[in-house]
Structure 1
Amino acid sequence: MQATKKATINIALVGNPNSGKSSLFNALTGLNQKVSNFPGVTVDKKTGAASISPTLQANIIDLPGTYSLYPKSADEFVTYDVLVNPSGDEQPDMVLIIADASNLKRNLLFCSQIMDLKIPVIIGLTMMDIARKKGVEIDEAGLERELGVPIVTINPRKNKGVSELKKMIDLVAKEKQSVAPRDFIDSAALAPEVVRDIRQYVQVKSDYAALHVAVNHGELPFLNGGQKLAITNLLQANQFNKTKVQAEEIMQRYGRIKHIMKNTVVEADPLQKQLQTEKLDNILLHRFWGYVILLSIMFVMFQSIFWLASFPMDWIEAGFGALSGWLTNILPANQLTDILVNGVIAGLGGIAVFVPQIMILFAFITVLEDTGYMARISFLTDRLMRQVGLNGKSVMPLISGVACAVPAIMATRNIENRKERLITILITPLMSCSARLPIYTVMIALVIPNKLIFGFFNLQGLVMMGLYLLGFVMALLIAALLKLFISIKEKSYFIMELPVYRAPRWANVGTTMVQKAKIFITDAGKVIMIISIILWFLASFGPKDRMEKVTAHYEQLKTAHPEQSEALDMELQSEKLSNSYAGVLGHAIEPVIRPLGYDWKIGIAVITSFAAREVFVGTMATLYSVGESPEDNDATLREKMRNATWRDGSPVYTLASGVSLMLFYAFAMQCMSTLAIVKRETKSWKLPAIQFAYMTVLAYISAFIAFELLK
């Protein structure tokens, strides 16, 4: 028997920020999700497949959150274009509006606007538990009658109401009866001649859609030049004032919303005692204690990164060391074994050891986001941000930069002010991302004593925290300078809704930790694998005449001093490495990096880590493995680096050179992916070039000063 082919519809998922939209998207689509770009713009879209019924499949399009149908940012304009465009590729067959029951009045404004577009609509009512705690009681059946569209109560975080929602989607898709039977307000009456004539020029579905064409015709990509010119002339002839029309529309909508809520919603006495969320905010957003708590949370996070991760890190490091020694003993001594042990295993082992720290970092970030505290950090730091020409909205990309600069820079799209967005893009890479963590860890372990301050503060954890704070402080200083040079004149306003506090979803935290570890291993592993193999070749071979000369010299020495044969063999390996292609390149750049306290091996790692910062550790692992004797293969990378010396026998890694190297990586733009995303977001190579130049100069000068002061 042949299976019935499922019909497929497009469903746009929309709603105010923090209304539960993302939770519902995850509940509907599960793992059937993908991220790509909307056509013609760089704004990301999340789409997912959902099985609604045995006969219906849906493509769920998760649109950026917005408070109304009048866009103020690039993200909001994407939502606007998808909903208003009558012939777009993403045109929805149905719109699923997520409305927060605890803030119903504000959410109904957006709902009413979408309903007037005459697209089939279902309203998913979330946060009912919070509404009840606020003393708000909603007559859902009455509200459904007043609006004229179906309403389903859902709690996607607990997977409640999702099956009922699917049944409603299936019913609406079959009957197509969820278009509001009457206009929420009389849109045509706001500008009768304009609305009538535009509906002749453009094939829109409603008077309200025609009104939006009048308001935003110059920015709508689906209008051609002739249509835009005709509409411009029409508006001039009718003396159309879009600001006045918008204000009148909003007043009429809120007037009807007030009437609807009076009939269907019972609200609590405004003098009722504060909710737990408000009580917590009085503490966490306090002008003094709020900052103390924020610093304490950061302190705990970085102490944990060292303390909790130390045990699995030691096991992983010992495991790779044992694996290298075991492979060296059982495999024949040839080039294939050499590339496997000293190229692939050394490179991957150098990066795998830091996975526990990456997982702990993302666990903390996920918990802060899930509980609602991350949004509070924006409000807490808004006053500080304004001192350097930014506002609280810039904080979220900067915090995200602690994980990775690429998505953090993409997150600047919700900053409406162009000047503030550009400054935020230019300073975000100064935040220490997770790719810098392996470098910091290995250098701190080498040059910072592992001891307790005041009996319980781990000094290494304090230094780690200091590096992250240093990046944030430097970002603010650079922002203050950029404010003077970028001449865009725009006022900015910081309005942001604070989500309620919730207990973290531990399953979500665990999933995120595993996903981030997997991404770190696979993405970094691919690059490290390739670079390690290339480096092994460059470090194992060199100019024929130079290598033959070195070999002949040491053969003569071994003939003359046979009792020193073993020591001379070790010196021969070191000299071969120094005269290899990698050695020649390293010695060529050594005059530039020597004032910073770096040898040629560090120089090679600085060059290769431009592909990705974490490649630094893999490069060092390969370089220190190639020139060693077989019996040293089970030594850890930190042990090999601790034993590294200059020709005069002095150690390469001292407090001066270690701090210098950490400062260099704290400020340097050592990431091709970040430069590429800055180019994509700014649509120019000029700003990425400026960014690369100022960060490189800042890194070099800071590293030079630190080395000179501490050597």
Structure 2
Amino acid sequence: MSDFFKIALAGNPNSGKSSLFNALTGLNQKVGNFPGVTVDKKTGRAQISADIKAKIIDLPGTYSLYPKSADEYVAYEVLLNPYGKDRPDLVVIVADAANLKRSLLFCSQIIDLKLPVILALSMLDIADSKGISVDMEALQQELGIPVVAINPRKNKGLSALKKTIASFHHTEFIPEPDFAPVTPLAGEALQDIRAISGVASDYAALHIASANDKIEFLTADQQQQIATVIKKKRFLKARIQAEEVMARYRRIGDIVQRTVTEGVPTRKEQFTERLDKILLHRVWGNVILLLVLFLMFQCVFWLASYPMSWIENGFAFLQGQAAGLLPEAWWSDLLVNGLLAGIGGVVIFIPQIALLFGIITLLEDSGYMARISFLTDRLMRSVGLNGRSVMPLISGMACAIPAVMAARTIENRKERLITILVTPFMSCSARLPIYTILIALVIPERYIFGIFNLQALVMMGMYLLGFVTALIVARILGWIMKSREHSIFLMEMPVYRAPRWKNALITMFEKAKIFVTDAGKVILVISLILWALASYGPAAKMDAVQLKYEQLAEQQGSLTEEQKEQQGSEKLEQSYAGIMGKAIEPAIRPLGYDWKMGIALISSFAAREVFVGTMATLYSVGGADENSKPLREKMHAARRADGGPVYTLATGLSLMVFYAFAMQCMSTIAIVKRETKSWKWPLIQLAYMTGLAYIVALLVYQLAK
């Protein structure tokens, strides 16, 4: 046995599985990808007892062991593959006590895979409010597996669960008899398939026979042998699956009848039903949704402004002190204007990103996020998409990469492809730093009617602009791409619950850490490269600028502060970065951009948020001293050749619109290629989004200037 006891958490969506994962692992968790697929893999570590350390694997939620979408196939492979590195030593099935019959189907299927299983009953408080009671001892005897009551939201039942897990670690596992025997249904074929694949049960063999061509862990030779057995033994997949599921439901019905008592429904409406009459109203529901979104951005702007100001002034102070204390040398310039400026460009936006994710987590935790999907379903259908497209688009407000992956839950190929192609229009957290600094520069900080912050309204408008554009483009793509497939959208509404601040704080910490470690590394590397490009240039041109100001210093005795700034600006123009910016300036001048913005546009094709790091480097090179100013002050003071401000309202709006529409994220392009298995679609996406960004930004600038 490995050093870590491997525990898989499985269960239906909205069963409390993620809550249990967070309660067991706390901050000891990480997000990666399952081998060979781009579906999120959440793992964490937990101390089960003094001598047992566990690796917890949070499997994607699924209703049965027969998968329909890519994320369900992930759970399928982990549980079936006898040789996988994530093969669990124990499976904890998290089941909603208020919907036990539905949860027991999946549980019974895992039991028949001959894996050690614990059934963790959650949401007993909700079951109790509905008059439902579960006889846990009787249920344990009927299933033949341990049953534990848990409430991870309040950290209740975790000690009993850990004690039960420890008992499996210390004793040899003896499989239970088949919950629903399948050998009589499938005959001798299952024994042959078990011998070929190496799986431990007839039921696992049945699944391999049913999905032979889609299972990743089988070799081509094994798949060929299994196909031969299926043909020779006349294995009728659809009939056998139907009979097997019906046999399970018959036994589950008997078990539920003996172990679950349902009270007489009261006339009093449940709190959730009463609240939904308001929040899901055709008119008021949408009004409330817009109000919730506005409050979210108001909070992001207002609450984050304080720590952002402290961080900004702190880094300006650090740069100034470092510039005053260190000797004049290339390495000190690199440290002050490259490294410190780059780090400052990353750290300053942590408060806003953490707050945005924290608020989204609270909305999910409360059950309101599912209502957002419901409210926008009708809108999605009006543009030819399925309601399942809503969640990828909402996820796109955080990051386009997992949002594109989330489109795997859409079974209709056309709708999935359109969703992938329009998801990058949603304003992700990478755009947030750009919007923040530009809004602060060109939008006055004032209140409308005394309560509505104008800057927050503009921020919300940028997010709505991306959403509306995504819908319009989806409608156009729907006309272009023809398909006869039709789909339906079904989802379960979770009950409203008080959100957990601890859960939100964990998410804020994790997302901030991901931003710093992933996006931060890219920003920092590009900042250092830019420092080099902005500090060096053709020797003749750089020497000419240096000689000019040395002669001026000799004539005057010393250079004035204004002349020092002018020297730094001229050196920057003659540097390699300046040459690059000047080369593309004719193409971007109609948009209101200067050559420094041009450099930022080029560098931010690696990642949008690099724009701010680029500006931090360009406005710091040659200009850091004991009195260094924050980046926003430097950008506000920037002037064109005619003396006018660089960042006017027209320029700021044009830049925001460009970044709202442009496909400036190499990682997203790579993921789209991987999801569509072709370079055709990401290249089309890059071309039409960049073209749209240029045209709309041009119109905005010409109309607003």
| Pairwise CA distance, 1:500 | 2.1
Of 655, 658, 665 in structure 1, the residue corresponding to residue 649 of structure 2 is 655
Please list the CA deviations of residues 212-264 of structure 1 after superposition, one character each: whole Å capped at 9, or x if unmatched: 23322332345455654555455556654433333333222222222222221
Q: Any conservation in 1 of the 2:319–2:625 contact (CA below 8 Å)?
A: no
Conserved 8 A contact 1:6-1:54: no
- Is 2:589 aligned against 1:594? yes
Indicate how the Cα distance of structure 1 residues 229 and 489 shifts in structure 2: closer, same or farther if over 3 A, else same: farther
Counterpart of 1:165?
Answer: 161
Partner residue in 1 for 2:60: 64
Q: 2:112, 2:328 → 1: CA distance?
A: 77
Secondary structure, in 3 states, of the residue corresponding to 2:628?
coil
Instruction: Write the distance in 2 (CA, Å) between the matches of 1:560 and 1:59.
Output: 72
Q: CA deviation at 1:426?
A: 1.9
Paired residue type of 2:612: V
Q: Secondary structure at the match of 1:19?
A: coil
CA distance in 1, matches of 2:166, 2:553: 85
Aligned residues of 1:342 and 1:625 also touching (Cα < 8 A) = yes
Partner of 1:344: 339
Residue 15 of structure 1: which of 2, 11, 15 is its match? 11
Q: Distance in 1 between matches of 2:624 and 2:181?
A: 85
Distance (Å, rounded) in 1 between the aligned partners of 2:434 and 2:97: 47
Would you say the 8 A contact 2:22–2:503 is kept in 1? no
> Counterpart in 1 of 2:686?
692
- Greater shift, 158-167 or 689-698, is seen at 158-167
**CA separation of 1:705 and 1:563: change in aligned 2, threshold 3 A:** same
Rounded to whole Å, the distance in 2 between the matches of 1:86 and 1:560 is 83
Q: Which of 345, 356, 360 pairs up with 1:365? A: 360
**Structure 1 equivalent of residue 106 of structure 2:** 110
Mapped to 1, the partners of 2:527 and 2:88 lie a distance apart of 48
CA 1:691–1:154: 2 relative to 1, 3 Å: same
Q: Structure 1 residues 146, 447: CA separation in 2 closer, same or farther (over 3 Å shift)?
A: same
- Alpha carbons of structure 1 residues 119 and 524: separation in structure 2 relative to 1, 3 Å: closer
Partner of 2:117: 121
Distance 2:78 2:519 in 1: 36
For the residue of structure 1 that corresponds to 2:115, the secondary structure is coil
1:52-88 per-residue CA deviation (whole Å, 9 max, x = no partner) reads 4455444433221110111101111122223233444
Partner letter of residue 700 of structure 2? A
State the alpha-carbon separation in 2 of the partners of residues 516 and 492 from structure 1. 34
Give the distance between the partners of 2:81 and 2:33, measured in 1 at CA: 17
Distance 1:388 1:615 in 2: 33
In structure 1, runs of 5+ residues without a counterpart are none
Supply the AA of the counterpart residue of 1:284: L
Which amino acid in the other structure matches residue 638 of structure 2? A
Distance of 1:656 and 1:415 partners within structure 2: 40
| Matches of 2:28 and 2:454, distance apart in 1 | 45
Question: Aligned equivalents of 1:218 and 1:521: distance in 2?
Answer: 41
Q: Distance in 1 between matches of 2:661 and 2:559?
A: 46
**CA-atom RMSD, angstroms?**
2.8
SS at match of 1:542: coil
Give the secondary structure class of the aligned counterpart of 1:14: strand
Deviations 1:599-631 (A, max 9, x none): 001101111122222221121122122244747
- Are residues 652 and 195 of structure 1, via their aligned partners in 2, closer, same or farther at CA, if it must alter by over 3 Å? same
Alpha-carbon contact 2:320-2:624 (below 8 Å) kept: no
Mean alpha-carbon deviation: is it higher for 141-150 or for 480-489? 480-489
3-state DSSP of counterpart to 1:185: coil
Q: Please say if residues 149 and 178 of structure 1, whose CA atoms lie closer than 8 Å, have aligned partners that are also in contact.
A: no
How big is the shift at 1:663? 0.5
**C-alpha separation between the residues in 2 aligned to 1:341 and 1:177?**
61
Partner Cα distance (2:91, 2:44) in 1: 15
1:451-490 paired onto structure 2 within 5 Å: 451-487=446-482, 489-490=484-485
Describe the superposition over 1:248-291 as per-residue Cα deviations: whole angstroms up to 9, x where unpaired: 33222222222222221111224553322222222222222111
Deviation at 1:705, TM superposition (A): 0.8
Indicate the residue corresponding to 1:413 in structure 2.
408
Give identity over the alignment, percent: 63
Q: Which residue of 2 aligns with 1:670?
A: 664
Note the 1:496-645 alignment, pairs <5 A: 496-553=491-548, 568-628=563-623, 630=625, 633-645=627-639
Contact 1:283 1:289 in 2 (8 A): yes
Taking a change above 3 Å as real, the CA distance of residues 335 and 452 of structure 1, as seen in their structure-2 partners, is same
- 1:446 correspondence with 2:441: yes
1:422 paired residue among 417, 423, 433: 417
Summarize the Cα distance change of 1:32–1:330 in structure 2 as closer, same or farther, 3 Å threshold: closer
Cα–Cα, structure 1 residues 517 and 82, in superposed 2: closer, same or farther, change >3 Å?
closer
Paired residue for 1:250, among 245, 252, 256?
Answer: 245
Name the structure 2 match of 1:316. 311
- Specify whether residues 554 and 385 from structure 1 end up closer, same or farther in structure 2 by C-alpha distance, changes over 3 A only: same
Asked whether the equivalents of residues 7 and 55 of structure 1 are also in contact (C-alpha less than 8 Å), the reply is: no
8 Å Cα contact 2:337-2:624 kept in structure 1: no
How far, CA to CA, are the matches of 2:190 and 2:558 in structure 1?
A: 100
- Deviation digits for residues 364-411 of structure 1 (CA, Å, limit 9, x no counterpart): 112112212112211221111122232222222222221222222222
Cα shift readout 1:326-348 (whole Å, capped 9, x = no counterpart):
33333334444433333333333
Q: d(CA) in 1 for partners of 2:519 and 2:129?
A: 47
What count of residue pairs does the alignment treat as equivalent? 705
The 1-side partners of 2:7 and 2:563 are apart by 73
Q: Which residue of 1 aligns with 2:141?
A: 145
Q: Which moved more, 1:571-580 or 1:436-445?
A: 571-580
CA deviation string 1:188-221 (max 9, x = no partner): 3334354466556555443433332332233234
Question: Does 1:206 find its partner at 2:201?
Answer: yes
Q: What pairs up with 1:374-389 in 2 under 5 angstroms?
A: 374-389=369-384
The 1-side partners of 2:260 and 2:538 are apart by 83
Map of 2:278 onto structure 1: 283
Of 217-226 and 311-320, the range deviating more from structure 2: 217-226
- Output the amino acid matched with 1:218: D
Task: Identify the range of structure 1 (582-591 vs 77-86) with the bigger mean alpha-carbon deviation.
Answer: 77-86
1:304 match: secondary structure: helix
Deviations 1:423-464 (A, max 9, x none): 222222211111211111111122112222122211111111
Which TM-score applies when normalising by structure 1?
0.92
Tell me which of 212, 219, 229 is aligned to 2:214.
Answer: 219
In structure 2, distance between residues paired with 1:701 and 1:368: 36
Deviation at 1:569, TM superposition (A): 4.8
Question: Is the CA contact (8 Å cut-off) linking 1:94 and 1:119 kept in structure 2?
Answer: yes
CA distance in 1, matches of 2:365, 2:663: 30
* More moved, 247-256 vs 422-431: 247-256
